[in-house]
Structures are given as C-alpha cells and as structure tokens.
Amino acid sequence: MSLRGYRLFQGLLMALLGLFLLSRLRDGRILLYLNQRFVWLVLLAALVLLGMAQVVLQARPGLREETERRSPMGLVWLALPLAIGVLIPARSLTQEIVAVRGMQTQPIVLRANVPARPVTIPTTQWSILDWIQAFRDAPDDQVGKAVDVTGFVFRDSSLRADQMIVGRFAITCCVADASAVGVVVHSEQAASFAQGEWVRVQGRVSWQDVNGEAQLGFEAETIERMDAPEQPYLFP
C-alpha cells in the first residue's frame, strides 16, 4: 500500500477508535468495561486519538516518501477491537464466569483506606460490597440490621436447599479483574430461583450455618425477581 493510502486508513481508524470510545463514554456503557475511576483516562485517550488522526490525515508524504510502501496488516489488527466493540453488543459478564473464577463469600479486602459506609446512610442502601466490608470490620455489630440488596442468584453444592447466594461482580480496574462477591441468603423460597436470575432481597443480617461453619448472611423476608440493573457491577 502507498504511504498516502496507508496514512488515509491509519487516520480514519484512529478517528473511529476515538469516536468509539467517546460513544461508549457518552452512553455510559464504558462502565461495562472499566471502573469509573479510570473514565477520565479513556476520555483523554479518545481526544488524543482524534488529534493524532487529524494530523495523520493532513500529513503529506515528502518527496523521498512518495514511493514508500507499507503493509496494511498493522491496520487490520487495530481494526479488530473496533469491530468487536461495534458488532458484539456491550453486555456485563454473565454468571457462567463464576464457575471459572469462583464466588467470594468470605470478608475480603478489595481496596485499602476506604472508609466504611458512613452511619448516616441507612443500611437498606448498602450494596453487597458494603455488607462484606462491614462483616469484615465489625461482624457482631451487623446482626439484626435491615438489608435491601440486589444481585444475581448463585448456588453451589455447599449450600442447603433453603440457601442461595446473592452476588455481584466487583471491578477494581477493568473486567479482567472482576471478582464475584456474594452473601448467603436463607429463605424457604430459595430453591425456586434459577441460577443467574436477578433478585432483590429484603430482610435482616443473621448468622447462617454454611457447610457446618457459622457465616454472616441474610435472613430473607421477601425476595423479588427483577431485571438486571443497567449498571450491574460494583466498584470498590
């Protein structure tokens, strides 16, 4: 390919990549790929790509470069993420990924120096991640507190028929590090919910017997089926 033709396609591809990132930022779907803390970096990258695209498209080969030939293969590789991003609808990770990564139900540390939820926020507004952090920091203080959380249903062989896990994916950086976190829920209706189904659980914190071990969980008062939320991830 001549240098002039190469520059044309290179500039167009950079512009399209920049516009793709901007479109994902505009409709909020960028949060299906990354933690919100890194959104400004993507905005910056999109603007730099557009600026570079303009310079590349305006570049005129010098006399010595007129006869230069370049392989278009490099352009093809960078077209791949663009094609995947445009052709495959942006969706959150499905619960099948839990089978590969496992479900974390024990108190874990996802980010240090993050203060626990202020006591001024009602516990019914806490997310699963807030609960897991509270279970780690002061387990006995949480028993009896009111709960209202949403998440997907996960069940494994360690749970009884009247137990299930309500879980979410937590993303520290990008979906590559997504970890499934969840809390055990006790309910007589537990068996009626399908794996991966989204539910809203209301109830109270209580100690649960999981495989012979005491573990903090939720005693459900009501469980409602619901659609997956627009933003299914939790960001520590």
Partner 1 sequence: MTNFAAIFLGIFIEAVPFLLLGTLASGLVEVYLDQEKLVRWLPRQPLLAAVIGVGLGLVFPVCECGTVPLVRRLLSKGVPPALGMAFLLAAPVINPVVILSTLTAFGPGVVFWGRLGLTAVIALLVGGVLGADPDVHMVLRADAGLTLHCVQADGQLLPGQRFRQVLLVAADEFFEMGRYLVIGAALAALMQLFLPQSWFLAVQSGPVLSSLFLAALAVLLSICSTVDSFVALGFAGWMPVGAVLAFLVYGPMVDIKSVLMFGRVFRKRVVVYLVVLPLVLTLLLTGLINVFWKGG
In the complex with partner 1, which residue's Cβ is closer, 170 or 201? 170
- Is 179 a binding residue for partner 1 by CB under 8 A? The answer is yes
Site string for partner 1, 91-130 (x = CB under 8 A): xxxx-xx-xxxx-----xxxxxx-----------------
Q: Which stretch binds partner 1 (CB under 8 A): 116-124, 142-150, 154-162, 171-179?
A: 171-179
- Is 86 a binding residue for partner 1 by CB under 8 A? The answer is no
- Is 176 a binding residue for partner 1 by CB under 8 A? The answer is yes
- Is 12 a binding residue for partner 1 by CB under 8 A? The answer is no
> Under 8 Å CB-to-CB from 207, ≥6 apart: which residues?
143, 214, 215, 216, 217
- Is 49 a binding residue for partner 1 by CB under 8 A? The answer is yes
Q: How many other C-beta atoms can be found within 10 angstroms of the C-beta atom of residue 112?
A: 5
Closest CA to 150 of 134, 126, 172: 126
In the complex with partner 1, which residue's Cβ is closer, 6 or 193? 6
DSSP the chain: -BHHHHHHHHHHHHHHHHHHHHHHHHSSGGGGTB-GGGHHHHHHHHHHHHHHHHHHHH----TTTTT-B--THHHHHHHHHHHHHHHSPP-PPPTHHHHHH-EE-S---SSTTPPPPPTTS-GGG--HHHHHHHHHH-HHHHTT-EEEEEEEEE--TTS-TTEEEEEEEE-SSBGGG-EEEEEEEE-TTGGGSPTT-EEEEEEEEEEEEETTEEEEEEEEEEEEE-PPPSS-EE--
Residue 86: CB minimum distance to partner 1, A: 11
- Is 90 a binding residue for partner 1 by CB under 8 A? The answer is yes
- Is 231 a binding residue for partner 1 by CB under 8 A? The answer is no
Q: Which stretch binds partner 1 (CB under 8 A): 138-146, 170-178, 187-195, 202-210?
A: 170-178
In the complex with partner 1, which residue's Cβ is closer, 24 or 186? 24
Site string for partner 1, 135-164 (x = CB under 8 A): ------------------------------
Residues that bind partner 1 (CB under 8 A): 10, 14, 17, 21, 24, 30, 32-34, 38, 41-42, 44-45, 48-49, 51-52, 55-56, 58-59, 73-75, 77-78, 80-81, 84-85, 88-94, 96-97, 99-102, 108-113, 172-177, 179, 236
